[in-house]
């Protein structure tokens, strides 16, 4: 088993989405989203055994690569969250992410992640720490890793969904907002559902998180295309 097709699709889309933005980044445009896409590509790549195992080998073979995934995803979530909040003019969401409460949640999450990782016994490289699924600290480590993205996604679902319902917006933006809202909702569902011990999500174990990545990156890429093609509406408003 070398990864589900949806994981490869997500990786491909992240890489493509990032490559599209390279010229803009060199002119100093959209750096945060570019960084988020690159980090997302790294995280997705490391979820695939053929990439995870060699990389973790280079890092020493004690599953440090999994820690890289977690921390990258936290950074992705913060970067995307901030840009989305600004894009949707959602001042409250910004406060929830980088206000005192948001920063506290982030610091606690990072600290808990590092501590739980240190407490776990992970002697041999294992993609997604699948071989250590029984360890309580590993379970909690995984739960925490889903909760922070779930928290930020929960903040973003409503502004994104509102954007998709706005009749005055460009159709491309409404579609993009819908994709983003659907993606955030998947992240939220995944974080909440995984909390229930013994609930077998089956194929959704993979489809929910990686589908979310596909949705979010598609939305971002659609907006990128829309900006490239977009011109101000030319009709004389006083005519």
Region from 3-11, 102-110, 136-144, 220-228 binding other proteins, contact rule CB under 8 A:
220-228
Q: Which residue has the tokens 């490391």?
A: 46
Is position 237 an interface residue for other proteins (rule: CB under 8 A)?
yes
What 8-state DSSP symbol labels residue 67? H
Is 20 a binding residue for other proteins by CB under 8 A? The answer is: no
What is the Cα–Cα distance from 95 to 153, expressed in whole angstroms?
14
Find, among 112, 78, 128, the residue nearest to 98 by Cα. 78
Q: Smallest distance, Å, CB 215 to other proteins? A: 14
> How many residues of this chain interact with other proteins, rule: CB under 8 A?
28
Site residues (CB under 8 A) for other proteins, limited to 63-92: 83-84, 86-89
Applying CB under 8 A, does 227 fall inside the site for other proteins?
yes
Instruction: Give dist(CA 129, CA 94) in Å, integer.
Output: 33
Rounded Cα gap, residues 34 and 38, in angstroms: 6
In the complex, minimum distance from the CB of residue 83 to other proteins, in angstroms, rounded to a whole number: 5
Sorted by sequence, the CB contacts under 8 Å of residue 46 that are 6+ apart come out as: 52, 55, 65, 66, 68, 69
Return the number of the residue (215 or 220) whose C-beta is nearest other proteins.
220
Burial class (CB within 10 angstroms; exposed 0-12, middle 13-18, buried 19+) of 20:
middle
**Which residues within the stretch 167-196 sit at the binding site for other proteins (CB under 8 A)?**
167-170, 173, 176
Among positions 3, 30, 145, 150, the unique one binding other proteins when judged by CB under 8 A: 30
Residues interacting with other proteins, by CB under 8 A?
Answer: 30, 33, 83-84, 86-89, 163, 166-170, 173, 176, 220, 223-224, 226-228, 230, 232-233, 237-239
């Amino acid at each position: 088993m070398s990864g589900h097709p949806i994981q490869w699709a997500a990786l491909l889309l992240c890489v493509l989405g990032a490559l599209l933005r390279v010229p803009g980044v060199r002119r100093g445009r959209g750096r945060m989203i570019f960084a988020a896409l690159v980090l997302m590509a790294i995280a997705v790549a490391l979820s695939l055994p053929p990439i995870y195992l060699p990389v973790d080998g280079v890092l020493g073979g004690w599953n440090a690569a999994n820690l890289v995934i977690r921390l990258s995803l936290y950074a992705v979530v913060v970067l995307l969250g901030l840009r989305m909040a600004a894009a949707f003019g959602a001042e409250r969401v910004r406060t929830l992410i980088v206000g005192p409460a948001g920063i506290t949640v982030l610091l606690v999450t990072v600290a808990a992640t590092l501590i739980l990782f240190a407490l776990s016994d992970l002697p041999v490289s294992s993609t997604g720490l699948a071989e250590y699924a029984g360890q309580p600290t590993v379970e909690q480590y995984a739960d925490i890793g889903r909760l922070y993205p779930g928290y930020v996604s929960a903040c973003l679902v409503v502004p994104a969904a509102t954007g998709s319902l706005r009749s005055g917006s460009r159709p491309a933006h409404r579609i993009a907002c819908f994709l983003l809202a659907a993606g955030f909702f998947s992240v939220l569902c995944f974080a909440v559902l995984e909390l229930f011990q013994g609930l077998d999500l089956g194929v959704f174990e993979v489809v929910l998180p990686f589908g979310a990545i596909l949705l979010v990156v598609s939305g971002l890429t659609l907006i990128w295309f829309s900006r490239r093609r977009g011109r101000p509406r030319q009709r004389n408003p006083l005519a």
